[in-house]
Structure 1
């Protein structure tokens, strides 16, 4: 229960009781009723006497000033207690299912406030008028009208509190949840450990009203054919020609075997008397100089 709802409910309980005190409990109405010579213990006189409990006076010709002060102080105390008790009771009322609780709370607050204010009025009256017979009986006589006023007319405060409850509940129901929700600030980027990829973080932003967009069906992705199978045609796409299997190529004939190359013949060894060690086979005249003659 919010403070606004509690104050509205307490105001609803105080308003009808304040109207009774202003319109009926003033000194002019009270003096006019006393001048009629009514007997307060006969017929409808007791309910009328209860109705005059929250009374107040500004002046009095033959009334002591202390009694006027005691009367006004007790009336102000009555309304202060009524407001406090109504606020405390409204705090305990269920916000969603507390209609009956609001009615009973207003009634109960009026009874308790009337009893306490009547007790204070009895004490102050004994102090102001110095009545004989002790203070006990006079205090009880002052408490009785306060409690009786709460029982007889406290339901007016309960109805006023119930109206305040209904008004605040209707206003709370008209507010859509999240309509005035504040936007959340962006979260700072967290530091990543060295060697780990950085992951971007996006701030969640709440929008008051989301516009409804038309539904667009996703485009179908072409299906990949299985290995060795024919590709499947996509719905709405031009036909795909089927691929022909590759034609096997004839194997090339084996190359003829080439004969092994013969090793080159070894060079003839030079004669032993070839002491010149020439590389070529040049014919040298080996005849000595003395043999020509």
Structure 2
């Protein structure tokens, strides 16, 4: 991949790619895809970037709604990250979900794009009450790695690094990343794509924090259950999604400046 000319980057996915947890709806969300676009621009390339991700989308919806528009943009670089919303739902079908991921890998790489994806961290270390879902997550990661290998897709294997489960990288809902978490993911992707100037510093550990006592840990879990897991379950029972009525935040290719201070990349 050359960095001395024009470069088109398109991001496909759900809330993680949209940038939830890094900013808010009043000021706008940023996220790792916006930050990766800045990394690309810092190489000296003239980068145009579109983000088609919408929160709450399942892998099937990402494929149905975002793949065709992405292909029309003829991206040089594309990121695809979906499936987490599927994994945490009842009725999860691993073959179907990863099948949608692989179909996107196949079509984007066939178009000439350099495609990258991520693995999802050990959620049991981030939110202990989700431990029953861990086998699904581990299996999902293995399937994604295999599908990526079949199509020459770059994998930023975030799950293989201890830093990925540091609570300081995770927002209060424990499903989305903080700005620091999004920054680390962008660094992981920049490194996996072997961008000039990228290195493995994204995986460096943070300073140790005092260990929480048992009572505090239990209290935190109870608060999380009431503030986040409960409302999520209620939305599912009502057949609603956090992405209902939403559209992509950056549906067209727009120029990117190589500076971190930009709020929208």
TM-score of the superposed pair, with normalisation by structure 2: 0.21
Specify which structure has the higher proportion of strand.
2
TM-score of the superposed pair, with normalisation by structure 1: 0.20
The structure whose RCO (Cα within 8 Å, separation 6+) is larger is 2
- Whose Rg is larger? 1
